[in-house]
A and B are shown apart, each in its own frame.
Chain A
Amino acid sequence: MTAVEIAAAVRSGQRSARSVVDEHLDVIAGGDADIHAFNLVAAAQARARADEIDGAVAAGRDPGPLAGVPVALKDNLCTRGLATTCSSRILEGWAPPYDATVVEQLHNAGAVVVGKTNMDEFAMGSSTENSAFGPTCNPCDTSRVPGGSSGGSAAAVAAGFAPVALGSDTGGSIRQPAALCGVVGVKPTYGLVSRYGLVAFASSLDQIGPFTTTVADAAAVLDVIGGPDARDSTSISEPQPPVSDTLADGIDGLRVGVLTELSGNGIAPDVAAQLQAAVRALESAGASVAEASVPAAVYGLSAYYLIAPAEASSNLARYDGVRYGLRVDGPSTPDMNTATRSAGFGDEVKRRIMIGTYALSAGYYDAYYGKAQKVRTLIINDFASVWEQFDLLVSPTSPTTAFPLGERAADPMAMYMSDVCTVPVNLTGQAAMSVPYGVGDDGLPVGVQIMAPALGEPVMFRAAAVLEASL
């Protein structure tokens, strides 16, 4: 059952939330040993919450638009009293004293949190292999990675453990795993969804979004988690129209651009073929399609791998052994800080902290961080001229289908290249999503990325619905 179907059945009293939750907990118990999507399954809490929802229905109250829908949360979203680890040893044992805004919103909409999902440590990675608790496997082929960094969330939805999961996307960490696991993944416009309670990686790029099996489910979740929040100073202050309302409006007359810089060089032929099939489907539905060029997009990866580590080096300074999580003692506070951080962080996190510290350090700031911020402006300007001619852009989400576990783990540059199609949109703050569109030569899922201008979610979802219906 989809999330929309579950909510309808629970709200009308046709099905109990408890039976829905029990069913999903059974699937998790039977299957997660092979996938390792979860860091923690909150079975007792989920059953208690489901009973509350059933009580509300019995009393004639509406539990909300996601009534009884099991939801898995990436383990960098704060959950009051429930361990939140970011898949890092440095936060082991920490239970936040508050809920993230999105967690409150899901709760108020009647959803049921079933657990916290595995991820690359502090969301740094593209395969979920950089987890202190071991990798997640792709449910489509357990010898392959699920993508990352929200690989546990993507795998949880693909494996049927939960119809909905939330992830975070700093450079593609929702869209790329969605593509590799064959599910829908949305990176909303920067500022549409509150980041309060999302453990910060790169604050000017991070955005929370949903994983689902259907476009309508993703719309239903986004309509719940989007909106202003006084606790996030980067939150867009005007409420936006519900995406679900216009989902079926079609795309007749829309102008769609195929983003050439992200669709040619380096894209596997079988992935490119699926993009072409998707383009034909959009044309059949009445859209006009032409090539679109954002020349500066090719510099996206370089700008991203300076800006994101720079922000991370600052954000991760707070893990110092004083206020939460791990402490490794030393004779002085600086020694204790160093011992704690050296023991608590994994290799990729250390690498990124060092890149960022270097890019921000005296003598190198202008050459690296300063230059990267100007490249960001260049990319924003290039996109702005393209939006004068196009309503939407498309590209592959990932250059390849899911790669084998271990293949890129020892080669950071090869891993960073996995993000080439997704990072430009984080730098510009625009909306983007990945929609599954057939399979590659290896039988593994291919995702098509749809990009829209800032707050272009309604149009983006209409195109996603068209692609979904054309399969």
Chain B
Amino acid sequence: MRFGMGQQRITRAECAHVAALARLELTDEELDRFTSQLDELLDHVAEVEALDLEALPPTMHALPIANLLRPDTPGEVLDRDEVLAQAPFAEDGQFRVPPVLGEAP
């Protein structure tokens, strides 16, 4: 459903960059397919480019409410052991992960 023969809106290299930002690793086939599918979507949503929206404020939220805060008093919290029991790896009351920085030991 192409809405025009416009220029390509997202390149394969940009698509690969976005995947890396999102911590996704794509195969060559996935990268080809997603580039073309994302390009098609971006081409469709480009219909809003022609609208003059300068004077309008953005809507982040449909309801006019903000900063609903509860009293700053301790409430019920989840049980640590119960939460850690759901983790792929836990040790000494903490989530265990591979090295974050530098070489693996």
Interface residues of A (CB under 8 A from B): 94-95, 97-98, 190-191, 204, 230, 233-237, 299, 301-303, 305-306, 313, 320-327, 329-339, 341-342, 345, 347, 350-351, 353-355, 357-358, 361, 367-368, 370-378, 380-381, 412-414, 416-417, 427-430, 454
The chain B residue with its CB closest to the CB of A336 is: B98
In order of increasing CB-CB distance, the 9 nearest A-B pairs are: A429-B62, A373-B58, A327-B88, A374-B53, A302-B45, A376-B59, A342-B25, A377-B59, A357-B22
22 A–B contacts from the bound complex (CB under 8 Å)? A97-B79, A98-B78, A204-B61, A234-B63, A299-B48, A313-B22, A320-B23, A321-B88, A323-B86, A326-B88, A331-B98, A332-B99, A338-B24, A354-B18, A357-B22, A367-B49, A371-B51, A371-B53, A374-B56, A375-B51, A377-B53, A378-B51
CB–CB A327/B100 < 8 A: no
CB–CB A351/B53 < 8 A: no
CB–CB A374/B95 < 8 A: no
Q: Which residues of B contact A329 (CB under 8 A)?
A: 98
**B68-105 contact mask (Cβ, 8 Å, vs A): 1 or 0:** 11100000001100110011110000010111100010
Whether, in the assembled complex, B13 has its beta carbon less than 8 Å from a beta carbon of chain A, the answer is no
CB–CB B98/A413 < 8 A: no
CB–CB B56/A354 < 8 A: no
CB–CB A327/B18 < 8 A: no
Closest Cβ–Cβ distance, residue B54 to chain A (whole Å):
9
CB–CB B58/A377 < 8 A: yes
Cα separation A412 to B43 with both chains bound (whole Å): 13
**B19-55 contact mask (Cβ, 8 Å, vs A): 1 or 0:** 1011111100010001001101110110111010100
Q: How large is the interface on B (under 10, 10 to 19, 20 to 34, 35 or more residues)?
A: 35 or more
Cα separation A305 to B37 with both chains bound (whole Å): 13
Which of the residues A190, A338, A381 comes within 8 Å of B23, measured between beta carbons?
A338
Q: Which residues of A contact B38 (CB under 8 A)?
A: 351, 354-355, 358
CB–CB A354/B15 < 8 A: yes
Cα separation A417 to B99 with both chains bound (whole Å): 44
Cα separation A143 to B42 with both chains bound (whole Å): 32
Q: Which residues of B contact A331 (CB under 8 A)?
A: 98-99, 104
Q: Which residues of A contact B51 (CB under 8 A)?
A: 299, 371, 375, 378
Whether, in the assembled complex, B57 has its beta carbon less than 8 Å from a beta carbon of chain A, the answer is yes
Whether, in the assembled complex, B5 has its beta carbon less than 8 Å from a beta carbon of chain A, the answer is no
The chain A residue with its CB closest to the CB of B43 is: A413
Q: Which residues of B contact A336 (CB under 8 A)?
A: 97-98
Closest Cβ–Cβ distance, residue B48 to chain A (whole Å):
5
Which of the residues B25, B58, B88 comes within 8 Å of A376, measured between beta carbons?
B58
CB–CB B24/A345 < 8 A: yes
CB–CB A357/B21 < 8 A: yes
Apart from the given pairs A342-B26, A374-B57, A378-B51, 12 other A-B contacts in the complex at a CB distance below 8 Å? A329-B98, A332-B104, A334-B23, A338-B24, A350-B26, A350-B34, A361-B18, A361-B21, A377-B57, A378-B56, A380-B59, A429-B63
The chain A residue with its CB closest to the CB of B65 is: A234
CB–CB A97/B78 < 8 A: yes
CB–CB B70/A230 < 8 A: yes
Q: Which residues of B contact A305 (CB under 8 A)?
A: 41, 44-45
Cα separation A66 to B37 with both chains bound (whole Å): 45
Q: Which residues of A contact B98 (CB under 8 A)?
A: 329-333, 335-336
Q: Which residues of B contact A345 (CB under 8 A)?
A: 24
CB–CB A380/B15 < 8 A: no
Cα separation A334 to B23 with both chains bound (whole Å): 8
CB–CB A191/B63 < 8 A: yes
Which of the residues B19, B30, B70, B83 comes within 8 Å of A97, measured between beta carbons?
B83
CB–CB A204/B48 < 8 A: no
Cα separation A169 to B56 with both chains bound (whole Å): 27
Closest Cβ–Cβ distance, residue B65 to chain A (whole Å):
7
The chain B residue with its CB closest to the CB of A93 is: B86
CB–CB B48/A427 < 8 A: no
Q: Which residues of A contact B22 (CB under 8 A)?
A: 313, 341, 350, 353-354, 357
Which of the residues A320, A326, A370 comes within 8 Å of B58, measured between beta carbons?
A370
Closest Cβ–Cβ distance, residue A92 to chain B (whole Å):
11
Contact A412:B88 (CB < 8 A) given known A338-B23, A380-B59: no
Q: Which residues of A contact B14 (CB under 8 A)?
A: 358
Q: Which residues of A contact B23 (CB under 8 A)?
A: 320, 334, 337-338, 341
Q: Which residues of B contact A191 (CB under 8 A)?
A: 63, 65
CB–CB A236/B63 < 8 A: yes
The chain A residue with its CB closest to the CB of B84 is: A323
Cα separation A449 to B48 with both chains bound (whole Å): 26
Closest Cβ–Cβ distance, residue B47 to chain A (whole Å):
6
Closest Cβ–Cβ distance, residue B19 to chain A (whole Å):
6
Q: Which residues of B contact A428 (CB under 8 A)?
A: 62
Q: Which residues of A contact B56 (CB under 8 A)?
A: 374, 377-378, 381
Q: Which residues of A contact B47 (CB under 8 A)?
A: 299, 302
CB–CB A353/B60 < 8 A: no
CB–CB B86/A97 < 8 A: yes
